């Protein structure tokens, strides 16, 4: 009997997926069972199990602990790249950020939250845009809060070191030369003037959040698609209260809030983003 068939018959997969949803909000069904061997087998063997099936059997029979969180993190999707889906960054540069900066000229303070930062390419891409496009921000207090649920990707993001393959995904030669140091070992490191405005921390979006500032801009791209409706509504409600009065929310290209309250949908060159609706209390 192969491992997959054994898990289907025993209900172990369903139980593990329920644990994953309870603790991370990620909602999967049996159609996603194919992900288990590729994401958990090497971890299972590293922890002393013969494969992912006995590892899962152990997880569903024991109280939630360190091994569970290692498994949960292994199941997350950390696909990212610099300037991923370039169009949103062009809209940020040409329309959204100028709006925000004009409103904040008195306070000279800008707070941005990348709510699924992974290994850091998104927040560093934003930092590059700010430096390249808005010289008037030189004396501003700028804070890019970059958070994720996975400690190992946050550690990589904090180090700000990327392989040759990673920097060539999304970066022009000009940006690589301007914003990175060639470490001469096949890796490149983001310059300190960008690193100092990006602050990384671990946050579980479905659990209690730490005290944070109100944000002028929140990016939570390609995350809500993994949540069920109740969890998605819960996160959006909390983000609504975390935005400044005219704060802006940006989602992934396949995500939409057309039927959600609390946000006003706006478009710029066919790109949809969401402004906080202050008249709606959610």
- The mean pLDDT of 269-274, rounded to a whole number, is 92
**Mean pLDDT score, 222-244:** 92
Place of tokens 């309250």: 261
Residues 29-81 have pLDDT tens digits of: 889 999 999 999 999 999 999 999 999 999 999 999 999 999 999 999 888 99
Segments in the chain forming alpha helices (H): 3-10, 12-24, 35-46, 52-61, 66-74, 87-91, 97-103, 121-133, 151-159, 164-167, 173-179, 192-195, 229-242
Alpha carbons 126 and 138: distance in angstroms, whole number: 15
- Contacts by 83-86, CB closer than 8 A, 24 or more apart: 83/121, 83/125, 83/170, 83/171, 84/121, 84/122, 84/125, 84/170, 84/221, 85/252, 85/253, 86/170
First-to-last alpha carbon distance for the chain, in angstroms, is 51
CB 266 within 8 A of CB 274: yes
Sorting pLDDT into bands at 50, 70 and 90, what band is 282? low
pLDDT given at position 260: 63
65 contact partners, CB below 8 Å, separation of at least 6: none
DSSP state of 62: S
Summarize the confidence of residues 273-281 as an average pLDDT. Answer: 81
Rounded Cα–Cα distance for residues 170 and 62 (Å): 43
Question: Cβ distance 93 to 129 under 8 Å?
Answer: yes
What's the CA gap between 225 and 186, in Å, rounded? 35
* N residues, the chain: 282
The pLDDT assigned to 1 comes to: 43
Q: How confident is the model at residue 279 (pLDDT cuts 50, 70, 90)?
A: low
Among candidate residues 248, 241, 157, the one with its CA nearest the CA of residue 194: 157
Which whole number is the average pLDDT over 150-169?
94
The reported pLDDT for the residue numbered 274 is 94
DSSP string, 128-161: HHHHHH-GGGGGSEEEEEEEES-HHHHHHHHHTE
The pLDDT confidence band at residue 6, using thresholds 50, 70 and 90, is very low
Instruction: Judge whether residue 281 has pLDDT over 70.
Output: no
Q: Per-residue confidence at 3, pLDDT binned at 50, 70, 90?
A: low
User: Regarding predicted confidence, which is higher, 258 or 140?
Assistant: 140
Query: What is the per-residue pLDDT for 165?
Result: 94
Work out the percent of the chain whose per-residue pLDDT is above 70. 94
> What percent of the chain is predicted at pLDDT more than 90?
84
Return contacts of 273-279, CB within 8 angstroms, 24+ apart. 273/91, 273/96, 273/248, 273/249, 274/248, 274/249, 274/250, 275/246, 275/247, 275/248, 275/249, 276/240, 276/243, 276/244, 276/245, 276/246, 276/247, 276/248, 276/249, 278/245, 278/246
Confidence grade of residue 212 (pLDDT, cut at 50, 70, 90): very high
pLDDT single digits (tens) 104-152? 999 999 999 999 999 999 999 999 999 999 999 999 999 999 999 998 8
Report pLDDT for 77.
80
pLDDT tens by residue, 183-193: 999 999 999 99
Query: Domains of the chain by range and CATH?
Result: 3-74 (1.10.155), 87-276 (3.40.50.150)
């Amino acid at each position: 009997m192969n491992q997959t068939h054994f898990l289907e018959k025993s209900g172990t997969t369903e139980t593990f997926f329920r644990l994953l949803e309870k603790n991370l909000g990620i909602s999967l069904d049996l159609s996603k069972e194919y992900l288990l061997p590729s994401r958990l087998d090497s971890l299972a063997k590293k922890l002393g199990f013969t494969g992912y099936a006995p590892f899962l059997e152990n997880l569903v029979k024991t109280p939630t602990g360190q091994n569970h969180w290692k498994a949960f993190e292994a199941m997350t999707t950390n696909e990212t790249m610099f300037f991923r889906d370039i169009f949103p960054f062009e809209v940020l540069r040409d329309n959204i950020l100028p709006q925000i900066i004009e409103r904040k000229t008195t306070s000279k303070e800008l707070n941005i939250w990348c709510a699924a930062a992974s290994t850091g390419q998104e927040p560093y891409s934003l930092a590059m845009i700010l430096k390249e496009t808005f010289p008037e921000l030189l004396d501003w207090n700028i804070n890019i809060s970059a958070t994720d649920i996975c400690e190992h990707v946050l550690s990589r993001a904090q180090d700000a070191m990327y392989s040759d393959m990673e920097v060539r995904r999304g970066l022009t030669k000009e940006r690589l030369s301007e914003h990175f140091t060639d470490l001469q070992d096949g890796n490149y490191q983001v310059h300190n003037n960008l690193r100092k405005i990006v602050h990384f921390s671990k946050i579980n979006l479905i659990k209690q959040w730490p005290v944070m500032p109100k944000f002028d801009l929140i990016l939570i791209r390609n995350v809500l698609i993994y949540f069920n409706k109740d969890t998605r509504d819960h996160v959006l409600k909390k983000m609504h209260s975390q935005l400044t009065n005219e704060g802006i929310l940006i989602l992934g290209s396949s995500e939409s809030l057309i039927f959600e309250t609390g946000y006003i949908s706006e478009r710029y060159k066919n790109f949809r983003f969401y402004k906080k609706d202050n008249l709606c209390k959610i």
